[in-house]
Structure 1
Amino acid sequence: MSKRSVTEVQTVSSSDSRDPKKPFGSHPKRNDADDEMGEFEDGWEDEYESDGEVVDEEAEDGMDVDEEVLPPIEETEEQPPAADVFIPGLHKLGEDEVLEADESSYIMRHEMGVDWPCLSFDVLRDNLGDERQRYPATAYIVAGSQAPAGQSNQISVFKMSSLHKTQRNAEESDSDDEDDDEVVDEDPVVETRSVPHIGGVNRIRAQPLSPSTPLPPVSQPYYVASWAETGKVHIWDVRPLIEALDTPGYSLPKQRVSTPAFTITSHGRAEGFAMDWASSGGANPSALRILTGDVHSKIYLTTTTTSGFNMLTQPFVSHTSSVEDLQWSPTEATVFASCSADQSIQIWDVRSKGRKSVAGIDQAHPSDVNVISWNRSTAYLLLSGGDEGGINVWDLRNVKKRGTTGTEPTPVAALNFHRAPITSIEWHPTDESSFAASGADDTVTLWDLALEADTEQEGVTMNGDVPVPPQLLFQHAGQKEIKEVHWHPQIPGTVISTGYDGFNVFKTISI
């Protein structure tokens, strides 16, 4: 069996019996070699380290050497073996190689396969409590499939339970650890309830519920919106699906779950991906608002009243290409942001006349701006991810208003580590300086902007090619075509990601 490693925590091994989709973890180290968060190890260092044998000092001084003990070194044309280092996005696996996780990098790590790829999902809030730290954990998510045949697609609610801590090796276990009973080598349990969906699901988003707002009772709806490839946005009540997962023998009300509660047809036949909910009243349906953006650069607002949903017919128009993502302001009820394939980020106020943006960054990235995320704790910070693989952090206080003069703002931080388009980005729900991102280089990265470069770490690169930003905490890989990543708002530090081959649920020692 051959192995290749990434720094000291990532390995790749040749084994036909292993799952070729198994991920691995990597957490850059930041202090000295004895510290758990030390600096990157040299991938070549082990090639030249002493193996502990005692070498005769006289031999080193040129004295005679017994050739039977130390035979003369023969010249050879063979080259020394290459460094056994694997860098996601830079290197490719061989035909007989698979990624193998270093479980010591994770507090928890689980995988879940699906029948058809679910390239968009959202985390559903539950009534199990906030700030949950004990294991095994339970999580609920909603996802939409992308099956080859449009009529085979579904909206599914998954309940993932028995999510135990990652099994530790015997030598790593502490007999005095109070949490030893939580470390169990036991498979998680996955249950699901689904409803049919016409067409593949481009994006799915759940009605937002704050920590102070409990899960709606069975009698009240819990809405989820799906952007279909047919050009329609369907709104579903998934509360009965959750109840069916939690209540043995529960009979699903077919009429309530088999058809959408409402369908937004404002976009005609134009397909779209951008979507975001806003709510000033929690589970109160009369306070809900949802924005949807399409590939023809138009953004529509749909609101709810006591009588139901209301589509506004006049679109917001300032973009000149496909609208890729939308985000409501966390503090201003009438303000939202959008990003587009026209390389810009626009800021809007729904009260403005003419449905034009009120401020913006015209050249936010040198290519399509794929995703944005608005900081919930520091409302003037906005993240953006581009098609070139770059991540920018923007201070919205520097963004110029329309009709005013001034220079184009520059990002307060520009992170260029991913080697392919950024596919998802999201601020940590409670830590104002941390965020997660995913890329088409098949990796998820975790970041902390509060970190600064250590003097001993300056100039550190991976394989002498890819600079390692000091803000990079962790790199997770092993999934194929990762499309979205979300933090679980009720289980601190837990990340869920989806790709072509299913879901990963993990929590690292870095967060």
Structure 2
Amino acid sequence: MVKRTADEEKAAGPLKAGERPDAMDVDEKPNDMGEFEDEFEDEFESEDEIIEAGVDGRPDAEREAEEAMDVDAAGAPATFIVGRTKLEPGQTLSPDPTTYRMLHNLSTPWPCLSFDIIRDGLGDNRSVFPATVYTVAGTQADSVKTSDNSIMVMKFSGLSKMQSEDGEESSDDESDDEDADPVLEHKSIPLNTTTNRIRAHQTPSQDPSKPATTLTATMTESTNVFIHDITPHLASFDTPGTIITPQQNKPLCTIRAHKSEGYAVDWSPLHPAGKLLTGDNDGMIYVTTRTDGGGFVTDTRPFQGHTSSVEEIQWSPSEASVFASASSDGTIRVWDVRSKGRKPALSMQISNVDVNVMSWSRQTTHLLASGDDAGVWAVWDLRQWKPSAGGSAASAPLQRPSPIASFDFHREQITSVEWHPTDDSIVAVSAGDNTVTLWDLAVELDDEESKDTAGVQDVPPQLLFVHYQNLAKEVHWHPQIPGALVATGEHFSVFKTISV
């Protein structure tokens, strides 16, 4: 959540999390001329009783109260909405610290527009500050030299909580170090191409004394998909003096099945050894499986059905053989890898524009969220999706299902959407309007509350929080720090709000 600031105006009020933004108070500048003295005042003085009244003859207080009501009814005071309202010249945005429990921005040498959060051994459901977060990202270097690109394995530490206005930290969370400064450590894996999307997967170790094996799959501009083992890179952060060898930087596998670059990649959560889906701009989807010997085998028979690029792929969180794909053809299709015909089991036309991103709820597995190029994100109940009568879904006309929820709050394309890991009503969304928004689908307004929101009808009641993130691309919930999120764009932002 942010508030407006300007060199000329420093009294603008903050936008509070979970509350309706109030009209901006603008302080008028005092009259530099001082009081005006009328040299003819004595000549016009009357002995009659003087009644304080305005220009229409009514008492000033009564007239001013009515004018204020008229202004409120007309919605004249400008309600500032991040990502929608344009800043005036000289104005900038800055965060309102009273709406965050934690907020840190960390910069990398090159933009990393795709990343993933790595589960660690520090414990689940932790609330101790300063916090530590492990991530992996791929760069998009603004350089003619492709050798400037890399995979960055990172450790964010010293992530302290926000202090209250009186300088004291709130007592709801433990804190080991109140004044810790954030630190970004990283190990780079050379990659002679830019990263379109990167995802991580962890295989539990058979030896309790050893960490899980952490693999990454990187979809690149070069059309190749690279699988790396970043386990030694992660371990090096906690073992000073560790040197990563050139061999450890080499990919375990390079998938060359794709003839065009792609953006869709996902590891199955139900195949511990490693089962990977990748989709490209030609609409082709391939499955790569890790063998018992530790190698990888790609099935060269693609899944085909989309008429345009595959933008997103996700495995079902509950059925090991099922996955869904979203495409720039405006459809979401559901597949079963056991299908001999390699055709989708369900095909639904959910948008007239590109469907960029998708998220399958881990808590309520018949719910799927999607985001499109028009700035609309929606929630779908997969139980309502049925194959067309009289034939298979692949050959029947595409159905247009109705979403159980749909929001067009954002004014630019949706770039990321993700369900909360433990709450099936909370969703995080990022968009090209430089915002990350948090939503609570369980919120409903009664009649009395609806009256109080008359001035902000275009702000849905389900909107909990707006976080400003320049060039926002991806947002992910941390699976072990409840309510914590990491977002990327111009820089990395690690934050936790008071509303979630």
- Let me know the Cα RMSD of the aligned residues: 3.0
Aligned match of 1:448: 440
Q: How far apart, in 2, do the equivalents of 1:339 and 1:173 lie?
A: 44
Measure how far apart 1:97 and its partner are. 2.4
Q: Percent same amino acid at aligned positions?
A: 46
Aligned match of 2:165: 169
Residues matched between the structures, number: 449
Q: How far apart, in 2, do the equivalents of 1:506 and 1:156 lie?
A: 20
In the alignment, structure 2 segments of 5+ residues that lack a partner are 29-48, 58-70
The amino acid across from 2:201 in the alignment is Q
Measure how far apart 1:189 and its partner are. 1.2
Q: How far apart, in 2, do the equivalents of 1:215 and 1:463 lie?
A: 58
Q: Is the 8 A contact 1:460 1:468 kept in 2?
A: no
Aligned match of 2:495: 506
1:100-249 equivalences in 2 (<5 Å): 100-147=94-141, 148=143, 149-170=145-166, 177=171, 179=173, 184-208=178-202, 217=210, 221-249=213-241
Measure how far apart 1:221 and its partner are. 3.5
> Are 1:97 and 2:91 counterparts?
yes
Decide whether aligned partners of structure 1 residues 170 and 310 sit closer, same or farther in structure 2, where only a CA change above 3 A counts.
Answer: same
Q: How far apart, in 2, do the equivalents of 1:183 and 1:58 lie?
A: 66
- Which of the residues 242, 246, 251 maps onto 2:243? 251
Decide whether aligned partners of structure 1 residues 158 and 375 sit closer, same or farther in structure 2, where only a CA change above 3 A counts.
Answer: same
Measure how far apart 1:84 and its partner are. 5.9
Per mean C-alpha deviation after superposition, the further-off stretch among 164-173 and 376-385 is 164-173
> Are 1:43 and 2:23 counterparts?
yes
Aligned match of 1:6: none
The amino acid across from 1:123 in the alignment is I
Q: Is the 8 A contact 1:166 1:184 kept in 2?
A: no
Q: How far apart, in 2, do the equivalents of 1:231 and 1:26 lie?
A: 44
Measure how far apart 1:261 and its partner are. 0.7
TM-score, with structure 1 as normaliser: 0.81
The amino acid across from 1:480 in the alignment is N
Q: How far apart, in 1, do the equivalents of 2:474 and 2:357 lie?
A: 10
For residues 347-393 of structure 1, the C-alpha deviation after alignment (integer angstroms, 9 at most, x for no partner) is 000011211000121x2112110001001111100000011111111
The amino acid across from 1:126 in the alignment is D
Aligned match of 1:300: 286
1:267-346 equivalences in 2 (<5 Å): 267-268=258-259, 270-282=260-272, 287-307=273-293, 308-346=295-333
Measure how far apart 1:183 and its partner are. 7.6
TM-score, with structure 2 as normaliser: 0.83
- Which of the residues 459, 484, 489 maps onto 2:474? 484
Q: How far apart, in 2, do the equivalents of 1:187 and 1:462 lie?
A: 43
Aligned match of 2:81: 87
The amino acid across from 2:138 in the alignment is G
Aligned match of 1:373: 359
- Which of the residues 340, 352, 376 maps onto 1:390? 376
Q: How far apart, in 1, do the equivalents of 2:310 and 2:413 lie?
A: 16
Q: How far apart, in 2, do the equivalents of 1:247 and 1:171 lie?
A: 35
Q: Is the 8 A contact 2:15 2:22 kept in 1?
A: no
Per mean C-alpha deviation after superposition, the further-off stretch among 135-144 and 93-102 is 93-102
User: Alignment partner of 2:178: what SS?
Assistant: coil
For residues 132-185 of structure 1, the C-alpha deviation after alignment (integer angstroms, 9 at most, x for no partner) is 1111110000000001231110101111111110122117767xx475856834
- Which of the residues 9, 12, 15 maps onto 2:4? 12
Aligned match of 1:32: none
The amino acid across from 1:309 in the alignment is F
Q: Is the 8 A contact 1:165 1:183 kept in 2?
A: no
Q: How far apart, in 1, do the equivalents of 2:485 and 2:129 lie?
A: 15
User: Alignment partner of 1:314: what SS?
Assistant: strand
User: Alignment partner of 1:266: what SS?
Assistant: coil
Q: How far apart, in 1, do the equivalents of 2:341 and 2:162 lie?
A: 55
Measure how far apart 1:462 and its partner are. 9.1
Q: How far apart, in 2, do the equivalents of 1:125 and 1:88 lie?
A: 32
Larger Rg: 2
For residues 19-71 of structure 1, the C-alpha deviation after alignment (integer angstroms, 9 at most, x for no partner) is xxxxx875232xxxxxxxxxx254167889xxxxxxxx974468xx9xxxxxx
Aligned match of 2:61: none
The amino acid across from 1:372 in the alignment is M
Decide whether aligned partners of structure 1 residues 441 and 41 sit closer, same or farther in structure 2, where only a CA change above 3 A counts.
Answer: closer
Aligned match of 1:5: none
1:39-78 equivalences in 2 (<5 Å): 40-43=20-23, 59-60=51-52
- Which of the residues 422, 428, 432 maps onto 2:414? 422
User: Alignment partner of 1:355: what SS?
Assistant: coil
Q: Is the 8 A contact 1:109 1:165 kept in 2?
A: yes
- Which of the residues 361, 364, 370 maps onto 2:350? 364
Q: How far apart, in 2, do the equivalents of 1:25 and 1:249 lie?
A: 46
Q: How far apart, in 2, do the equivalents of 1:440 and 1:85 lie?
A: 21
Aligned match of 1:263: 254
For residues 197-255 of structure 1, the C-alpha deviation after alignment (integer angstroms, 9 at most, x for no partner) is 11100000001568x9999936x641101111000000011111111111111122321
Measure how far apart 1:456 and its partner are. 3.0
Measure how far apart 1:454 and its partner are. 3.2
The amino acid across from 1:469 in the alignment is P
Q: How far apart, in 2, do the equivalents of 1:242 and 1:487 lie?
A: 20
Measure how far apart 1:451 and its partner are. 1.1
Q: Is the 8 A contact 2:268 2:276 kept in 1?
A: yes
In the alignment, structure 1 segments of 5+ residues that lack a partner are 1-8, 19-23, 30-39, 49-56, 66-79
Q: How far apart, in 2, do the equivalents of 1:493 and 1:253 lie?
A: 37
User: Alignment partner of 1:207: what SS?
Assistant: strand
User: Alignment partner of 1:458: what SS?
Assistant: helix
Aligned match of 2:35: none
Aligned match of 1:474: 465
Q: How far apart, in 2, do the equivalents of 1:390 and 1:371 lie?
A: 11
Measure how far apart 1:408 and its partner are. 3.2
> Are 1:436 and 2:416 counterparts?
no
